[in-house]
Structure formats: structure tokens, C-alpha cells
Amino acid sequence: MTRPSFYITTPIYYVNDAPHIGHVYTTVACDVLARFKRLDGFDVFFLTGTDEHGQKVHKAALVAGTDPQAFTDKVSQNFRDILPIMNITNNDFIRTTEPRHKAACAALWEKMKENGDIYLDKYAGWYAVRDEAFYGEDELTDGPGGVKIAPSGAECAWVEEESYFFRLSAWGDRLLEFYDKHPDFIQPESRRNEVLSFVKSGLRDLSVSRTNFPWGVPVPGDEKHVMYVWVDALTNYITALGYPDERSENFRKFWPADFHVVGKDILRFHAVYWPAFLMSAGLKPPKCVFAHGWWTIEGQKMSKSLGNAISPHDLVARYGVDATRYALLREVPFGNDGDFSHGNVTNRINADLANGLGNLAQRTLAQIAKNCGGKVPACGPLSEADRALLDHARIRMLPAVRIELDAVRIHKALEKIWDVINAANAYIDAQAPWTLRKTDLARMETVLYVLAETIRCLALIVQPVIPEGAGKILDQLGRAQDRRTFAQIDAAYALESGTLLPAPQGVFPRIETDEKKAAG
């Protein structure tokens, strides 16, 4: 039987900067969805990479006094190096300077041209290098010294040059029709309205080539032009599947993408320009563009000039990879803006991982080691409370989590899992197996069995978010590597009484709070 397919992408990151928490946020979120789908039986393609052309990267290379190719080789590697540190399971890493990508861009360009959507003219207007975006006069405000400022806060400069244009103005009605037919195309809902009103207000043709710097994919047949970096960048999503070979196995299996996950600042490029380019080239638009919010740091915008960008390396060194992944996704509803504070992260890790899941596993496994000879305990007749907890963990949890993740409500999915953890911690307190040890050994074994089974289901389902810790718990429950998919949450794969288990060990250490450190 062929497995259903699932294609998810991160934005490709500009190589003008070191990776920071904003970048790894998207990548970790996509990784959770990719891992979840794999464990849920899907054939997954998960793509990330680097966006290496354009004026912004060219400028950064000039400032560094390096040739742009050598510069992008170095910075792209920094983005690649962060992936194993964050425990990311991408299937491919694309660089826009690769030959396969240049070929895909040229092919897409030719298709759009054949369709009559590309013409040569002159661009005279405003451009913000920081955003790599063109702006209309009406969108700008006056900054200090008369500098024009884009809505994003980026400085704009006046540009006049010969340029190819994409006939975007002709695509407005077809885009609106497409949004209408695919109500889930833009998520969350609030973002959809923003895009709709932008398109309804009338689209101008888009300048899609530049001539005043050389660092880009050459325009086929007119090599003094390089393609506008966003045409080049967006194409990465099909390059990686083998485009222009539309019959290649991956293209047929994975296009259209299930999710392009992006930050809210780059939604317009993905939800307006990209589907128009694709439709013009006779290709299907992606199924969904999901825009997440932005992080501020302890109440401040994250910026180079403030020097407050948080490095993922530092976070992992301080909290560990699982806790970092968990905190990034649990603190803020995915889609909303959020403020990062070490105090909140520490509290969250201690409450949910150390006290919540960690403590549940630790006290259950320690009692099994001490009072059941280190073997999976026997399971006697089940009480109503036993059954309620087991049904919650084995039957109700996965469908509930699936619904939330299919809608990319990652924080809600975590809530559904933690509902079971909280129920299990309440159960252990109510059943008090440590007291049963003195009064009713058979019942104590049943209670510990029910808990171990619940922990088995929990460890299976948290694997996408906290893969290391989940793996350690599954090791301690003696689960073989080939018994860790979601289909095996089912009671048919329950723990077998009498199986000898490895010695238990703590999985999620408590993080010392700053106040405690100071007091100590």
C-alpha cells in the first residue's frame, strides 16, 4: 500500500546573518510536524535551506570583503550546522547557488514568459534592500532626514533601472477565486483577511529582474539582468522536488506542498506572488501557507544593533535541546507574536518537563525498580479509574493531537498531551501505590502497570517534540526501535508483564532559577 505523502518547508534563510532564535523557531516547528507525520504513517519530505542571492547578501559579502560565493559558502554552513544541534530531521538542504536551482529558476521563468506574463520595461520606484521588497509611495512614511521608511521599518531607496515585469495585475481575480475555493490556503484565519484586502485593493505588476548588481540567477536570454531574489527564492520549493522535471518521482509525489511555514513578514510573497507565478507556469499552488508570529526578546525587538539576538547554540547549552524545542513551541500560540524571557522558559521547563512528565516517569519507574523486581508489573482487574486513564492515553489522545497538528495549533497539541500527563499525576497521587505496597501488593502492581502503559503512550506521542527525552523513556520501558510508531500506541502493543527493564534514570533535570542561583 502506498503511504500518503506530506511535504513541508521552512523559508530559506538569508545568509547575511548568523542563525538566531527566529530562524530556528520555524525550523523546529516544521520538524515537529514532519516527525509527527512520519510516525503517523506518512511519506514525508521536509525541506529547509539558504537564500543566497540578492542585493542584501551581495552587500553583506562586500562589507565582509569576501567574494560572494565564498561568503555564502561560509554563512550557509552556519545554518546547516545548527540543524543537528536542534535535532532537525530535514530530508534535503537547498542552497539557491546550486546548479539544480538555477536550472529550475530558468525553466520557471521561461514558462511564465511563454504564458505572456513577463515583459520588459523600466522600474522607477522605491526598494528596501533589508526586505528585498518594492514598495508603493503610498505605503511609506517619512523618517529622519527625509528617508522613506517601509511599514516594516526598513529604509527605502529610489531605484530606476530597466527591468522585466511579471503581469501580476492580471492575476488579481484568479487569485481571489483561488482563495475562495481554498479557504484553508492562508492560515491562521486573521492573516487570510490581510492578504485578501491587499489583493482586493488592486495589484501592480511586479518588477522581477534587477540590473544594478550582479549577484543572482541570470535572466534567460538577457544576462545583464539577474532575477529578482524573491522569484529565485520561492522557486526553491520546487527545485528540491526535481523541477523542471515534472515527472520526477518526488515532484509527482510531493507537489503541491502541504505546508509552507513562514514568518508573518513574508506572507505576501508566499500567498500572493508565489501562487500567481505557479499558476502562470501551469503548476498547482501549495495547499497551505501558514504564517507564524515574531519573537521579541525580554520586551524588545530583536536586532543586530541592539545586539540582543538569541543564539540557538546558547539556548541549547543552557537548557538542552529538548527543553529548548519544547519551550519555543509551548510558550506562545503558534501564529501569535511572543516575548522570549529566560524566566518564563525556566518556569515552563520546570513545570512541564521536570515536574510534569519527568517526575511522572521517574516516580513510576523507580517504584517498579524497587517494588516489582525491576520487571513490568502484573496487571490485575481494572478499576474505572484505571480504564479512564488508559483509554485517555491509548484511544483519545492521538486523534485529539492529530486534529490540532493538522491545523498547526502546536501549542494546543501539547496541551492535549499534557492533559494526559496531568491526569496521570493526579491518578498516581489518588492511587498512592507507595501505600498499597503495605496493604495490597497485587493492586499496587496493577496501578504501576497502568502508569507504565500510560507513560509508554505519552513517550511515543511526545517523540516529535522532545525526541531525546522521549527516546530515553522508551529505552527505560524496553521498547525496541521498531515499536515506536503511533500505530503502536494501540493496546495490542502494550507492555508485557514480567519483562525485565533497564535501571531507571532521570530524564528532564530541573533548571535552577536565577533567584535560586543568586541565593545559593
Q: Does 12 bind ligand MSP (CB under 6 A)?
A: yes
Q: Report DSSP state, residue 185.
A: S
Q: DSSP labels for 396-438?
A: IHHHHHHHHHHTT-HHHHHHHHHHHHHHHHHHHHHH-HHHHHH
Size of the site for ligand MSP (CB under 6 A): 19
Q: Does 285 bind ligand MSP (CB under 6 A)?
A: no
Phi, psi dihedrals of residue 261, rounded to the nearest 5°: -95, 125
Question: Is the alpha carbon torsion for 327, 329, 332, 337 positive or negative?
Answer: positive
What's the closest the beta carbon of residue 198 comes to ligand MSP, in angstroms? 17
Q: Which of 6, 23, 365, 410 binds ligand MSP (CB under 6 A)?
A: 23
Q: Which of 115, 55, 119 is nearest to 277 (CA)?
A: 115
Which among 83-91, 228-236, 344-352, 393-401 is the span making contact with ligand MSP, rule CB under 6 A?
228-236
Q: Which of 29, 175, 227, 234 binds ligand MSP (CB under 6 A)?
A: 234
* Binding to ligand MSP in span 25-54, by CB under 6 A: 25-26, 51
Q: Does 240 bind ligand MSP (CB under 6 A)?
A: no
Residue 14 or 109: the one with the smaller Cβ distance to ligand MSP is 14
Residue 25 or 126: the one with the smaller Cβ distance to ligand MSP is 25
Question: Is the alpha carbon torsion for 457, 463, 465, 471 positive or negative?
Answer: positive
329 burial level (CB within 10 Å; 0-12, 13-18, 19+) = buried
Q: Within 13 Å and on the Cβ side, how many CA atoms surround 248?
A: 13
Which among 199-207, 229-237, 410-418, 458-466 is the span making contact with ligand MSP, rule CB under 6 A?
229-237
Binding mask 296-335 for ligand MSP (x = CB under 6 A): ------x---------------------------------
* Binding to ligand MSP in span 241-280, by CB under 6 A: 262-263, 265-266
Residue 43 or 265: the one with the smaller Cβ distance to ligand MSP is 265
Q: Which residues contact 42 (CB under 8 A, 6 or more apart)?
A: 3, 4, 5, 6
What's the closest the beta carbon of residue 113 comes to ligand MSP, in angstroms? 21
Q: Does 215 bind ligand MSP (CB under 6 A)?
A: no
What's the closest the beta carbon of residue 272 comes to ligand MSP, in angstroms? 13
Residue 308 or 485: the one with the smaller Cβ distance to ligand MSP is 308
Give the count of beta carbons closer than 10 Å to the beta carbon of residue 322. 23
Q: DSSP labels for 25-39?
A: HHHHHHHHHHHHHHH
Q: Does 56 bind ligand MSP (CB under 6 A)?
A: no
Q: Does 191 bind ligand MSP (CB under 6 A)?
A: no
Query: Three cell numbers at 169?
Result: 495585475
The helix or strand, by DSSP H or E, that contains position 110, with its residue range, turns out to be helix 99-114
Q: Do residues 511 and 346 lie in contact, with contact meaning Cβ atoms separated by under 8 Å? A: yes
What's the closest the beta carbon of residue 305 comes to ligand MSP, in angstroms? 14
Q: Does 295 bind ligand MSP (CB under 6 A)?
A: yes
User: What is the distance in angstroms between the CA of the first residue and the CA of the last residue of the chain?
Assistant: 60
Binding site for ligand MSP (CB under 6 A): 11-14, 22-23, 25-26, 51, 233-234, 236, 262-263, 265-266, 294-295, 302
